[in-house]
Amino acid sequence: MRFALEPLLEAQQVVDLRMELLAEADAWRPGVETAGWHARTVKNNRQLDRSSHLQGQLTPRVVEPLLRHPLVQSAALPVRVHGLLFSRSGPGEGYGRHVDNAFMAEGRSDLSFTLFLSDPSGYEGGALVLESPSAEEALRLPAGHALVYPSTLLHRVEPVTQGERLVAVGWIQSRVRGADQRELLFELDTARRALFRQEGKSDVFDLISRSYTNLLRRWGE
């Protein structure tokens, strides 16, 4: 299951992040430095130096609203958000077909996310392409919007042909490993919340809540 946060950040927050990121020309490093051994051959972008002061300043401004978002809380069941990278790609740059590593330095990657910091009108190409057994989906979301998707998917970033693509990417470790189990829990949680809005606390609400809670207890870590 994938889902979009529309938006995660407000327009002024995005403008401020973008201005601060682009003002630090010396803090950007070749993206290949953070790639796994098999992804080094297809990764061609630039990333903010993770050890930089700017990285430390800006990371909470992405991670905190992501963790607070009610859809993330319900659908992702996050233990932690980790590995945040600010990435930029100009003409000819992109990131070829790959799958994210199962474990990063700070945790397991159950879900990946991309926060778009450039408006689609500011660059051409650069679509995030997600592969599934039946199709490919190419996405270019408005600035401030984020996409959360399973880390198990093969995906790529098409080369930018004009302008510059700026994003933040990272990973979520969930309390529940199984994607099918997370999806079922999300549906149960959505149903009980809708029922509560319509009828308040009822016998049916209590039964759904009991099922949700006990499944989370069984599947959670």
Token output for 130: 């997600």
What pLDDT band is residue 38 in, cutting at 50, 70 and 90? Answer: confident
Residue 60, SS3? helix
pLDDT at 75 over 90: yes
Residue 53 CB: number of other CB atoms within 10 A?
A: 10
What pLDDT band is residue 36 in, cutting at 50, 70 and 90? Answer: confident
* Reported pTM: 0.95
Please report, for residues 29, 58, 65, 80, 91, the alpha-carbon distance to residue 124 in angstroms, rounded to integers and kept in the order given. Answer: 23, 26, 28, 33, 9
What pLDDT band is residue 37 in, cutting at 50, 70 and 90? Answer: confident
Q: Of the candidates 174, 140, 192, which has an alpha carbon nearest to the alpha carbon of residue 67?
A: 174
Region class of 83: left (phi > 0), else alpha (psi between -120 and 50), else beta: left
pLDDT (0 to 100) of residue 133: 87
